[in-house]
Amino acid sequence: MKQWNPTSCLQEDQEEVSFSFEGRRLRARKGQSVAAALINNGIKKIAVSKKFGQPRGAYCFTGRCYSCTVNIDGCSHVRACMTPVQENMEVEMAKGYFDIRNDDNGL
């Protein structure tokens, strides 16, 4: 990353926060989104598809595709790309609502 020098940016916050994903303690820069903080920690798979349980990650980063919904502090279906990471935030992968489409179609 030698040439990389983003000059004028809107966020210059360098303060660090700590949060958890699936019980694992991780660090992030304040102001980052949860999805970006997870990617920065090497975690791209942050959700599973509701019907077939296939791996999913953040795709659009603008809050439209809903590919990155996670549970944050007990609240489900939160878009990780639109939520700023905060100190002691508990992020979990959404599990266990396969029954919402329990139609035996393919499962």
Partner 1 sequence: MDCDVCIIGGGPSGLAAAWQAGKTGLSVIIVDENQMLGGQLKQQRQPIQNLPDIFTNQQLTGFELAHELIHLIEPYDIKPLTGFSFIGVEADGTIGVNNGRETRKIRAKCIIVATGAAEEPILFPGWTLPGSFSIGAMQILINREKIVPGRTAVMIGSSSRTCQVASEMQQAGIIIAGVIEEKAKFDCSPSDLQHLKKLNIPLFAGVSKIRAEGEEEVENIHFKAGDGKEQSINTELVCIDGGLSPVVESNFILGYQLQFNSDLGNWIPSYDSCFHTSAPNVFVAGNAAGITSHGAILITGLIAGLSAAEALGKYSNKETVSKQRKKWWNELKTVEMAYDSTVYQARIQHVKQFEQLKIKQMS
For residues 84 to 103, the per-residue mask of contacts with partner 1, x marking binding by CB under 8 A and - elsewhere, is: x-------------------
Q: Where are the beta strands (DSSP E) in 1-107?
A: 16-21, 24-29, 47-48, 55-56, 69-72, 75-79, 90-92
Nearer to partner 1, 73 or 97 (CB): 73
From 18-26, 46-54, 88-96, 99-107, give the range in contact with partner 1 by CB under 8 A: 46-54
Cα distances from 13 to residues 2, 10, 17, 28, in angstroms, run: 21, 9, 11, 11
Q: What does the alpha-carbon distance between residue 42 and residue 36 come to, in Å, rounded to a whole number?
A: 10
44 binds partner 1 (CB under 8 A): yes
- Binding residues for partner 1, rule: CB under 8 A, are 1-4, 6, 8-11, 29, 32-33, 36, 39-40, 44-46, 49, 54-64, 67, 75, 78, 81-82, 84
